C-alpha cells in the first residue's frame, strides 16, 4: 500500500470512536464525555469569571444580560457530579468480576486524588490561607459542613470536592450491596 492509498489519521481515529465497543460501559477514550466535561468546565469558569465576581454590580443592557446568563454556570459542578456517578458506576460494573475490584477501586482513587489534595491543604496551611480548624475539616473531607462546625470556609472549591469524596466513599458500598442481593 502506498502512502497515497492510506487513510488520513484523523479519519481512522474518528472511525474508531464510532465503532461499537464490547469492552464495557466505560471505554478508555470517550470523546462524548470529554465534550460534556468541556461544557461543564466552561460553565464553571463563566460563572466564577462573571456572575460570581460581578453579579452584585449593577449593569444595564448587554452587560446585564451577559451577567444574568452566567448565573446558571454553577450547574457545571452538578454536571461533573453526574459524570462522576456514571464513570464510577461503569468502572465498578466493568471490574466487578475481579476478586479485588473493590480494593483496587479505592486504591486507584486514593492515588489519583490524595497526593495533590493533601499537598494543596498543606500549602494553604503554610501560607496562612487556611485556619487550623478549616484544615482539619478538609483532612477528613468535611469542608462542605463547615457551617455546622462554626468554621469559616476559606477556599470554596474544596466544598464540592468534599461532596465528591463522600460519593466515592459511599457509592461503591451501595453498589456492592446491590450486587450481592442478586
Instruction: Provide the terminal-to-terminal Cα distance of the chain, rounded to the nearest Å.
Output: 53
Instruction: Calculate mean pLDDT across residues 124-146.
Output: 93
Rg (CA), the chain: 21
pLDDT at residue 15, as a whole number: 44
Structural domain spans, the chain: 1-95, 99-182
Angle 54-56-60 from CA coordinates, rounded to 5°: 80
Spatial contact of 119 and 138, defined as CB atoms under 8 Å apart = no
Sign of the C-alpha dihedral, residues 167, 163, 30, 9? Answer: negative
Burial of 154 (0-12, 13-18, 19+ CB in 10 A): middle
pLDDT attached to residue 18 = 46
The pLDDT tens digits for 49-101 are: 777 666 667 777 887 788 888 888 888 888 988 888 888 888 888 888 888 88
Query: In the predicted model, is pLDDT for residue 20 greater than 70?
Result: no
- The Cα–Cα gap between 88 and 35 comes to 18
Quickly count: other Cβ atoms within 10 Å of residue 110's Cβ. 12
pLDDT above 70 as % of the chain: 81
Amino acid at each position: 500500500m502506498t502512502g497515497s492509498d492510506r487513510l488520513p489519521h484523523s479519519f481512522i481515529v474518528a472511525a474508531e470512536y464510532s465503532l461499537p465497543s464490547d469492552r464495557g460501559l466505560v471505554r478508555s477514550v470517550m470523546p462524548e464525555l470529554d465534550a460534556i466535561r468541556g461544557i461543564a468546565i466552561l460553565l464553571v469558569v463563566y460563572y466564577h469569571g462573571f456572575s460570581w465576581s460581578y453579579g452584585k454590580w449593577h449593569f444595564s443592557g448587554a452587560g446585564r444580560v451577559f451577567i444574568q446568563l452566567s448565573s446558571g454556570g454553577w450547574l457545571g459542578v452538578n454536571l461533573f457530579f453526574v459524570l462522576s456517578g456514571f464513570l464510577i458506576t461503569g468502572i465498578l460494573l466493568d471490574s466487578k468480576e475481579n476478586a479485588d475490584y473493590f480494593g483496587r477501586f479505592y486504591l486507584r482513587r486514593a492515588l489519583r486524588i490524595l497526593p495533590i489534595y493533601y499537598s494543596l491543604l498543606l500549602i494553604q496551611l503554610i501560607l496562612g490561607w487556611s485556619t487550623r480548624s478549616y484544615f482539619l475539616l478538609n483532612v477528613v473531607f468535611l469542608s462542605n459542613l463547615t457551617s455546622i462546625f462554626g468554621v469559616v470556609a476559606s477556599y470554596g472549591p474544596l466544598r464540592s470536592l468534599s461532596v465528591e469524596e463522600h460519593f466515592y466513599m459511599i457509592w461503591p458500598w451501595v453498589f456492592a450491596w446491590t450486587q450481592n442481593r442478586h
